[in-house]
Structure 1
Amino acid sequence: MASQLHTFLAGTGTDHRARTVVDILALSDARLETVHDYIQWLFPLPERSGAQPDAPVLTPEDIAAIRYDSAAQANLRAATERMLVFLRANPHWLRAHDHNHLRISRIIRSLALLVGSDEARAFRSAIMAMNKEAGSPVDPGNVRYWQQACPD
């Protein structure tokens, strides 16, 4: 039986607030910035979230099921693209410290677990290019987290 997290990512279920993955991907940039309980659903991890302790925790069973579910994979790729569009359009995160840096770390690590290292590195490369183009304002410690989330 599929978990709530798996059905959410597959597009057949909802999160804890009855939102579908499509609902979340359709949020405005302003809502993506100010709403803080969606990222753990789009990009889950095997550890409990410090920011959202009631968010789902990725299990080994979830990882296996999501990796082999073409709909979940397509939605993860769509979520990745949506977050890149958001980050490109809203460069306020390009500073030493910003809450979006934690989101970026989460996305990289989740992609490595659920989609694959190539996709995780591609996302990270896009983020690193934005940081470099802005004059590398992100704290080097945060950049190290991004590297550690999916080593080369």
Structure 2
Amino acid sequence: MPASLAGPLHAYLVEQGADGRGRLATDVLGFSDNQLEEVHDYIQWLFPLQTRSGAQPGAPVLTVAETEAIRVDPRATETLMKATERMLRFYRDTGWWLTGYDHNHLRITRILHSLRLLVGPEAAQSFHKAILAMHDAAGAPVNARSLHYWAEAAGS
């Protein structure tokens, strides 16, 4: 990893490092909808947090220095926005998550937290608004607890 990068997540988000399986961010962004649904170790890299993942405890955790570096690096924030667009397309094109309980509800919470932390509240609120529009159009099938976590994560 080049010295100018603050850590493995920063390197990954600027396409100068790979995840724990050797994949670049662009590789993951090119996943099919089925791959996005079935593979469970990419979301922690695309949307990192400062807390350990319960689902993938071996995934890296953002340090304070890495968080700051990602926030000010336009290459990293561009990757985060491309990842946001890809996940929105995934959620628009699939209905797997539009049910009472689904693992994607946890992913959505992570995405919202990560966007708010690394890109800003506007990005998180925009993603939240889009997710809620899909949810409402499907007849509001998601449980109240998930909806509460999403609102909290988005800062709404």
Give the TM interval when normalised to the shorter protein: over 0.9
Name the counterpart of 2:15.
Answer: 11
Name the counterpart of 2:62.
Answer: 58
Distance in 2 (CA, whole Å) between partners of 1:150 and 1:128 is 12
Could you report, residue by residue, the CA deviation over 1:38-58 in whole angstroms, capped at 9, with x for unpaired residues? 000000111100000000101
List gaps (5 residues or longer) in structure 1: none
Instruction: State the 1:150 CA deviation.
Output: 2.2
Deviation beyond 3 Å, 4+ runs, structure 1: none
Distance in 1 (CA, whole Å) between partners of 2:91 and 2:154 is 19
User: Alignment partner for residue 34 of structure 1, among 34, 38, 41?
Assistant: 38
Name the counterpart of 1:118.
Answer: 122
Distance in 1 (CA, whole Å) between partners of 2:122 and 2:155 is 11
Instruction: State the 1:82 CA deviation.
Output: 0.2
Distance in 2 (CA, whole Å) between partners of 1:100 and 1:149 is 15
Name the counterpart of 1:82.
Answer: 86
Name the counterpart of 2:153.
Answer: 149
Name the counterpart of 1:139.
Answer: 143
**TM-score normalised by structure 2 residue count:** 0.96
Name the counterpart of 2:53.
Answer: 49
Q: For residue 15 of structure 1, what is the amino acid of its counterpart?
A: D
Name the counterpart of 2:132.
Answer: 128
Alignment of structure 1 residues 103-114 onto 2, 5 Å: 103-114=107-118
Distance in 1 (CA, whole Å) between partners of 2:135 and 2:53 is 25
- Aligned sequence identity (%): 52
List gaps (5 residues or longer) in structure 2: none
Name the counterpart of 2:71.
Answer: 67
Distance in 1 (CA, whole Å) between partners of 2:38 and 2:22 is 18
Distance in 2 (CA, whole Å) between partners of 1:151 and 1:114 is 14
Instruction: State the 1:91 CA deviation.
Output: 1.2
Distance in 2 (CA, whole Å) between partners of 1:69 and 1:14 is 18
Matched positions, count: 152
**TM-score normalised by structure 1 residue count:** 0.98
